[in-house]
């Protein structure tokens, strides 16, 4: 059984860099390189949808130098690395509070989404300035403006990830055993996989092993 959607919390860049005797910022650069590899693995495995946690709402509180580097890295990744991804027919989304980003990065995200909106077979969502609670607050406020009685379907339509399906699998690298605000609403029936490997060291073998174990799990969705 192949999952339709996978979510990944890409954790451990800074700790990986420290163990390798490298600057923290190099860990983020290697993490971006790993993301491009994993996008390929996901497509090869026949998984239609991939969502990765690139920048949380809490990450804005990190040192200014690190935040500035992350923003530059995200801009460069979208501008350069995603060109190949777009040619492969993958639709790209950027769920999150994008108003917090510099205008040039907002424009690039908007343009990239528009340029790939005709692609339907595969999607890549890069969650940036994203937090599950912030997403739910935003959805609630949007529904309040509409002045209607709220249903679960209404909330789902207002989420930053709409219209993408909920993830069948969520993977977190780096050894932590929590979701840290990633896809809070969408993850209620996700199969969770927490691995100790830091994100830059994540291997294709580990990815394949997770897919294999997922196929062996019984998913009842509360039934």
- pLDDT tens track of the chain, all 223 residues? 899 999 999 999 999 999 999 999 999 999 999 999 999 999 999 999 999 999 999 999 999 999 999 999 999 999 988 778 888 889 999 999 999 999 999 999 999 999 999 998 899 999 999 999 999 999 999 999 999 788 999 999 999 999 999 999 999 999 999 999 999 999 999 999 999 999 999 999 999 999 999 999 877 666 5
d(CA 6, CA 3): 7
Question: So where are the chain's domains?
Answer: 5-215
The secondary structure of the chain in percent helix, strand, coil, rounded to multiples of 5, reads 50, 15, 35
DSSP calls for 86-102 = HHTTEEEE--S-GGGS-
User: Active-site residues: which are they?
Assistant: 11, 59
pLDDT at 127: 97
**168, 89, 117, 99: CA torsion to nearest 10:** 70
pTM of the predicted model as reported, rounded to 2 decimal places: 0.94
CB atoms within 10 A of CB 58: 11
Superfamily covering domain 5-215: Decaprenyl diphosphate synthase-like (3.40.1180.10)
């Amino acid at each position: 059984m192949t999952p339709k959607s996978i979510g990944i919390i890409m954790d451990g860049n800074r700790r990986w860099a420290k163990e390798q005797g490298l600057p923290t910022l190099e860990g983020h650069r290697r993490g971006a390189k790993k993301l491009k590899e994993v996008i390929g693995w996901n497509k090869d495995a026949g998984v239609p949808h991939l969502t990765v946690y690139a920048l949380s709402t809490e990450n804005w509180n990190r040192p200014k130098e690190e935040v500035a580097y992350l923003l530059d890295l995200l801009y460069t990744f979208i501008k350069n690395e995603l060109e190949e991804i777009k040619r492969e027919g993958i639709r790209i989304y950027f769920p999150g509070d994008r108003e917090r980003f510099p205008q040039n990065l907002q424009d690039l995200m908007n343009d990239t989404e528009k340029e790939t909106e005709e692609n339907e077979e595969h999607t890549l969502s890069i969650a940036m300035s994203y937090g599950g609670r912030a997403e739910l607050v935003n959805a609630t406020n949007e529904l309040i403006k509409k002045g209607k009685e709220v249903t679960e379907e209404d909330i789902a339509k207002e989420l930053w990830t709409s219209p993408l399906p909920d993830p069948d699998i969520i993977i977190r690298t780096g050894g932590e055993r929590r979701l840290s605000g990633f896809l809070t609403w969408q993850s209620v029936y996700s199969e969770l996989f927490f691995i100790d490997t830091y994100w830059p060291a994540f291997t294709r073998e580990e990815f394949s092993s997770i897919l294999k174990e997922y196929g062996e799990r019984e998913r009842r969705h509360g039934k």
